Amino acid sequence: MNTFIHRRDAMRLAAAGAAVLCGGMVRAQGAWPAKPVTLVVPFPAGGGTDAFARPLSAQFSKVTGQTLVIDNRGGAGGTLGASIAAKAAGDGYTLFMGAVHHAIAPSIYPKLDYDIEKDFVPIMLLANAPQVVVVNPKRVTQTTLQEFVAYAKKNPAKMNYGSAGAGTSHHLAGELFKQQTGTFITHIPYRGAGPMLQDLISGNVDVCFDGLGSSSAHIKGGRIKALMVSGSKRNPAFPDVPCAAEVGLPDYT
Protein backbone atom coordinates (compact mmCIF):
# COMPACT_ATOMS: atom_id res chain seq x y z
CA MET A 1 0.00 0.00 0.00
CA ASN A 2 1.24 3.49 -0.81
CA THR A 3 1.09 5.24 2.54
CA PHE A 4 1.86 8.85 1.80
CA ILE A 5 0.36 12.08 0.56
CA HIS A 6 1.73 14.54 -1.96
CA ARG A 7 4.67 16.57 -0.64
CA ARG A 8 2.86 19.84 -1.31
CA ASP A 9 -0.09 18.62 0.78
CA ALA A 10 2.20 17.62 3.64
CA MET A 11 3.76 21.07 3.54
CA ARG A 12 0.34 22.71 3.72
CA LEU A 13 -0.51 20.50 6.66
CA ALA A 14 2.75 21.40 8.37
CA ALA A 15 1.98 25.08 7.88
CA ALA A 16 -1.24 24.52 9.78
CA GLY A 17 0.63 22.96 12.70
CA ALA A 18 -0.49 19.49 11.71
CA ALA A 19 -1.32 16.40 13.68
CA VAL A 20 1.37 13.81 14.04
CA LEU A 21 0.07 10.76 12.20
CA CYS A 22 -2.07 9.71 9.27
CA GLY A 23 -3.89 6.41 9.50
CA GLY A 24 -3.45 4.12 6.50
CA MET A 25 -3.09 7.02 4.09
CA VAL A 26 -2.85 6.54 0.33
CA ARG A 27 -2.07 9.05 -2.38
CA ALA A 28 -4.95 11.49 -2.71
CA GLN A 29 -6.35 12.26 -6.16
CA GLY A 30 -6.38 15.93 -7.13
CA ALA A 31 -6.21 18.83 -4.71
CA TRP A 32 -6.15 18.03 -1.01
CA PRO A 33 -8.15 18.64 1.08
CA ALA A 34 -11.27 18.77 -1.06
CA LYS A 35 -13.59 18.10 1.89
CA PRO A 36 -13.50 18.17 5.72
CA VAL A 37 -10.76 16.15 7.41
CA THR A 38 -11.28 14.16 10.62
CA LEU A 39 -8.71 14.32 13.41
CA VAL A 40 -9.09 11.42 15.84
CA VAL A 41 -8.03 12.51 19.33
CA PRO A 42 -7.73 9.39 21.52
CA PHE A 43 -8.72 11.13 24.77
CA PRO A 44 -11.75 13.11 26.00
CA ALA A 45 -11.98 16.88 25.76
CA GLY A 46 -10.09 18.84 28.40
CA GLY A 47 -6.80 16.93 28.32
CA GLY A 48 -3.42 17.87 26.92
CA THR A 49 -3.84 16.09 23.58
CA ASP A 50 -7.20 17.75 23.05
CA ALA A 51 -5.78 21.12 24.12
CA PHE A 52 -3.31 21.00 21.24
CA ALA A 53 -5.94 19.74 18.79
CA ARG A 54 -8.31 22.71 19.26
CA PRO A 55 -6.01 25.51 18.04
CA LEU A 56 -4.72 23.16 15.34
CA SER A 57 -8.27 22.81 14.02
CA ALA A 58 -8.72 26.58 13.82
CA GLN A 59 -5.39 27.10 12.05
CA PHE A 60 -6.06 24.22 9.66
CA SER A 61 -9.25 25.93 8.48
CA LYS A 62 -7.43 29.22 7.90
CA VAL A 63 -4.69 27.60 5.85
CA THR A 64 -6.65 25.04 3.84
CA GLY A 65 -10.16 26.47 3.69
CA GLN A 66 -11.54 23.16 4.93
CA THR A 67 -12.75 22.03 8.36
CA LEU A 68 -10.68 19.82 10.64
CA VAL A 69 -13.29 17.89 12.63
CA ILE A 70 -12.07 16.75 16.05
CA ASP A 71 -13.34 13.28 16.97
CA ASN A 72 -12.63 12.54 20.66
CA ARG A 73 -12.41 8.76 21.17
CA GLY A 74 -11.09 8.15 24.67
CA GLY A 75 -10.45 4.79 26.29
CA ALA A 76 -7.85 2.07 26.87
CA GLY A 77 -4.93 4.45 27.22
CA GLY A 78 -5.43 5.96 23.78
CA THR A 79 -5.57 2.64 21.93
CA LEU A 80 -9.30 2.84 21.19
CA GLY A 81 -8.84 6.01 19.17
CA ALA A 82 -5.74 4.61 17.48
CA SER A 83 -7.67 1.52 16.42
CA ILE A 84 -10.43 3.64 14.90
CA ALA A 85 -7.92 5.76 12.99
CA ALA A 86 -6.00 2.72 11.76
CA LYS A 87 -9.18 1.20 10.30
CA ALA A 88 -10.33 4.39 8.60
CA ALA A 89 -10.41 4.62 4.82
CA GLY A 90 -6.97 5.26 3.39
CA ASP A 91 -8.04 8.34 1.48
CA GLY A 92 -6.10 11.03 3.31
CA TYR A 93 -9.08 12.34 5.26
CA THR A 94 -8.45 10.77 8.66
CA LEU A 95 -5.61 12.00 10.86
CA PHE A 96 -4.60 10.81 14.31
CA MET A 97 -3.23 12.88 17.19
CA GLY A 98 -0.54 10.64 18.60
CA ALA A 99 1.54 11.27 21.71
CA VAL A 100 3.77 9.32 24.09
CA HIS A 101 0.96 6.83 24.70
CA HIS A 102 1.10 5.73 21.05
CA ALA A 103 4.71 4.53 21.29
CA ILE A 104 4.14 2.93 24.70
CA ALA A 105 0.95 1.04 23.78
CA PRO A 106 2.52 -2.09 22.20
CA SER A 107 4.43 -2.77 25.42
CA ILE A 108 1.33 -2.37 27.61
CA TYR A 109 -1.27 -3.91 25.30
CA PRO A 110 0.29 -6.91 23.50
CA LYS A 111 -2.89 -7.77 21.54
CA LEU A 112 -3.48 -4.52 19.69
CA ASP A 113 -5.50 -4.83 16.48
CA TYR A 114 -3.21 -2.40 14.65
CA ASP A 115 0.50 -1.96 13.95
CA ILE A 116 1.91 1.44 14.90
CA GLU A 117 4.64 1.16 12.25
CA LYS A 118 2.59 -0.21 9.35
CA ASP A 119 -0.79 1.44 9.91
CA PHE A 120 0.37 5.01 10.56
CA VAL A 121 2.54 7.53 8.75
CA PRO A 122 4.16 10.29 10.84
CA ILE A 123 3.73 13.81 9.48
CA MET A 124 5.29 16.13 12.03
CA LEU A 125 5.97 16.84 15.69
CA LEU A 126 3.28 19.23 16.87
CA ALA A 127 4.41 20.04 20.41
CA ASN A 128 6.75 19.02 23.19
CA ALA A 129 5.41 19.75 26.68
CA PRO A 130 7.12 18.94 30.00
CA GLN A 131 5.42 16.97 32.75
CA VAL A 132 4.38 18.82 35.89
CA VAL A 133 3.65 17.49 39.37
CA VAL A 134 0.38 19.10 40.45
CA VAL A 135 -1.60 18.68 43.67
CA ASN A 136 -4.92 19.75 45.08
CA PRO A 137 -3.90 22.39 47.66
CA LYS A 138 -6.98 21.62 49.78
CA ARG A 139 -5.99 17.95 50.13
CA VAL A 140 -2.22 18.31 50.07
CA THR A 141 -0.94 20.87 52.57
CA GLN A 142 2.74 20.44 51.71
CA THR A 143 3.97 23.46 49.74
CA THR A 144 7.24 22.09 48.32
CA LEU A 145 8.15 18.89 46.55
CA GLN A 146 10.58 17.96 49.32
CA GLU A 147 7.82 18.24 51.92
CA PHE A 148 5.47 16.23 49.70
CA VAL A 149 8.01 13.41 49.25
CA ALA A 150 8.77 13.32 52.98
CA TYR A 151 5.07 13.00 53.79
CA ALA A 152 4.52 10.31 51.15
CA LYS A 153 7.43 8.27 52.53
CA LYS A 154 6.02 8.43 56.05
CA ASN A 155 2.54 7.51 54.81
CA PRO A 156 2.90 4.80 52.14
CA ALA A 157 -0.26 4.06 50.13
CA LYS A 158 -2.17 6.83 51.92
CA MET A 159 -1.98 9.15 48.93
CA ASN A 160 -3.17 8.51 45.39
CA TYR A 161 -2.45 9.89 41.95
CA GLY A 162 -4.57 10.07 38.83
CA SER A 163 -3.49 9.36 35.27
CA ALA A 164 -5.07 9.59 31.82
CA GLY A 165 -5.06 5.79 31.66
CA ALA A 166 -2.75 2.80 31.90
CA GLY A 167 0.31 3.21 29.71
CA THR A 168 -0.06 6.96 29.21
CA SER A 169 2.70 9.46 29.89
CA HIS A 170 0.92 10.44 33.13
CA HIS A 171 1.05 6.84 34.33
CA LEU A 172 4.71 6.31 33.46
CA ALA A 173 5.65 9.70 34.93
CA GLY A 174 3.93 8.72 38.16
CA GLU A 175 5.67 5.36 38.37
CA LEU A 176 9.03 6.94 37.54
CA PHE A 177 8.46 9.48 40.31
CA LYS A 178 7.69 6.72 42.80
CA GLN A 179 10.79 4.79 41.76
CA GLN A 180 13.12 7.76 42.02
CA THR A 181 11.73 9.08 45.31
CA GLY A 182 11.16 5.75 47.07
CA THR A 183 7.48 6.48 47.67
CA PHE A 184 4.32 4.43 47.20
CA ILE A 185 1.32 6.34 45.85
CA THR A 186 -1.75 4.45 44.64
CA HIS A 187 -2.49 4.75 40.92
CA ILE A 188 -6.03 5.64 39.75
CA PRO A 189 -6.43 5.49 35.95
CA TYR A 190 -9.01 7.63 34.13
CA ARG A 191 -10.26 7.72 30.55
CA GLY A 192 -8.22 10.82 29.77
CA ALA A 193 -6.52 13.83 31.31
CA GLY A 194 -9.74 15.86 31.27
CA PRO A 195 -11.62 13.61 33.74
CA MET A 196 -8.39 13.16 35.71
CA LEU A 197 -7.99 16.91 36.19
CA GLN A 198 -11.66 17.31 37.10
CA ASP A 199 -11.22 14.84 39.93
CA LEU A 200 -7.98 16.48 41.04
CA ILE A 201 -9.70 19.86 41.22
CA SER A 202 -12.71 18.31 42.98
CA GLY A 203 -10.44 16.75 45.59
CA ASN A 204 -10.96 13.10 44.68
CA VAL A 205 -7.25 12.53 44.01
CA ASP A 206 -4.19 14.02 45.67
CA VAL A 207 -1.66 14.46 42.88
CA CYS A 208 -1.26 14.12 39.12
CA PHE A 209 1.76 13.98 36.83
CA ASP A 210 0.26 15.92 33.97
CA GLY A 211 1.46 17.58 30.80
CA LEU A 212 1.96 21.29 31.37
CA GLY A 213 -0.27 22.13 28.41
CA SER A 214 -3.48 20.89 30.04
CA SER A 215 -2.62 21.95 33.61
CA SER A 216 -1.36 25.48 32.99
CA ALA A 217 -4.73 27.25 33.07
CA HIS A 218 -5.70 25.49 36.30
CA ILE A 219 -2.35 26.34 37.89
CA LYS A 220 -2.71 30.00 36.97
CA GLY A 221 -6.28 29.96 38.26
CA GLY A 222 -5.18 28.61 41.64
CA ARG A 223 -7.30 25.48 41.38
CA ILE A 224 -4.24 23.23 41.57
CA LYS A 225 -0.66 23.83 42.71
CA ALA A 226 2.49 22.93 40.78
CA LEU A 227 5.34 21.48 42.84
CA MET A 228 7.81 20.66 40.06
CA VAL A 229 8.30 20.55 36.30
CA SER A 230 10.36 17.83 34.67
CA GLY A 231 13.78 18.44 33.18
CA SER A 232 16.89 20.44 33.98
CA LYS A 233 15.47 23.95 33.54
CA ARG A 234 12.51 25.90 34.86
CA ASN A 235 9.70 26.57 32.44
CA PRO A 236 9.49 30.23 31.33
CA ALA A 237 5.72 30.23 31.79
CA PHE A 238 6.11 29.25 35.46
CA PRO A 239 9.45 30.66 36.61
CA ASP A 240 8.59 30.15 40.30
CA VAL A 241 8.11 26.38 39.92
CA PRO A 242 11.37 24.45 40.46
CA CYS A 243 12.58 21.92 37.92
CA ALA A 244 13.39 18.30 38.70
CA ALA A 245 17.15 18.84 38.71
CA GLU A 246 16.83 21.51 41.41
CA VAL A 247 14.99 19.23 43.82
CA GLY A 248 17.34 16.27 43.54
CA LEU A 249 15.76 14.39 40.62
CA PRO A 250 18.16 15.05 37.72
CA ASP A 251 16.98 11.98 35.80
CA TYR A 252 13.30 12.89 35.95
CA THR A 253 12.98 14.04 32.35
Q: What is the pLDDT of residue 6?
A: 40
- 131-247 — its CATH code? 3.40.190.10
Fold match, 7-122 / 131-247: yes
Stretch 209-216: mean pLDDT, rounded? 91
Stretch 24-32: mean pLDDT, rounded? 61
Give the tens place of pLDDT for each residue, 235-251.
Answer: 999 999 999 999 999 99
Neighbours of 159 (CB within 10 A): 19
Q: Say which residue, 108 or 25, is predicted with more confidence.
A: 108
Burial degree of 199 (CB within 10 A; 0-12, 13-18, 19+): middle
Give the tens place of pLDDT for each residue, 71-105.
Answer: 999 888 889 999 999 999 988 899 999 887 888 88
Stretch 27-40: mean pLDDT, rounded? 82
Q: How confident is the model at residue 14 (pLDDT cuts 50, 70, 90)?
A: very low
How far, in whole angstroms, is CA 46 from its chain's centroid?
Answer: 11
Burial degree of 180 (CB within 10 A; 0-12, 13-18, 19+): middle
Q: Is pLDDT above 60 for 20? A: no
Long-range contacts from 106-112, C-beta under 8 angstroms, 24+ separation: 107/167, 108/77, 108/166, 108/167, 109/76, 109/77, 109/79, 109/167, 112/79, 112/82, 112/83
> Which residue, among 160, 159, 134, 163, has the nearest Cα to 223 in the 3D structure?
134
**Contacts for 181 with CB less than 8 Å, ≥ 6 apart:** 149, 152, 153, 249
Stretch 27-42: mean pLDDT, rounded? 84
Neighbours of 79 (CB within 10 A): 25
Q: What is the pLDDT of residue 76?
A: 85
Q: What is the pLDDT of residue 3?
A: 32
Q: Topology of 7-122 in CATH?
A: D-Maltodextrin-Binding Protein; domain 2 (3.40.190)
Q: What is the pLDDT of residue 9?
A: 44
**Among 6-15, 81-90, 105-114, which is the least confidently predicted range?**
6-15
Q: Say which residue, 77 or 202, is predicted with more confidence.
A: 202
Give the tens place of pLDDT for each residue, 111-147.
Answer: 999 999 999 988 888 877 899 999 999 999 999 999 9
> Which residue, among 179, 182, 177, 214, has the nearest Cα to 195 in the 3D structure?
214
Rounded distance, CA 91 to CA 101, Å?
25
Stretch 32-58: mean pLDDT, rounded? 89
Rounded distance, CA 172 to CA 195, Å?
18
Global pTM reads 0.71
Q: How confident is the model at residue 22 (pLDDT cuts 50, 70, 90)?
A: low
- Structural domain spans, the chain: 7-122, 131-247
Distance set, CA 150 to CA 20, 143, 203, 246 (Å): 40, 12, 21, 16
Q: Is pLDDT above 80 for 49? A: yes
Q: Is pLDDT above 60 for 1? A: no
Give the tens place of pLDDT for each residue, 176-201.
Answer: 999 999 999 999 999 888 899 999 99
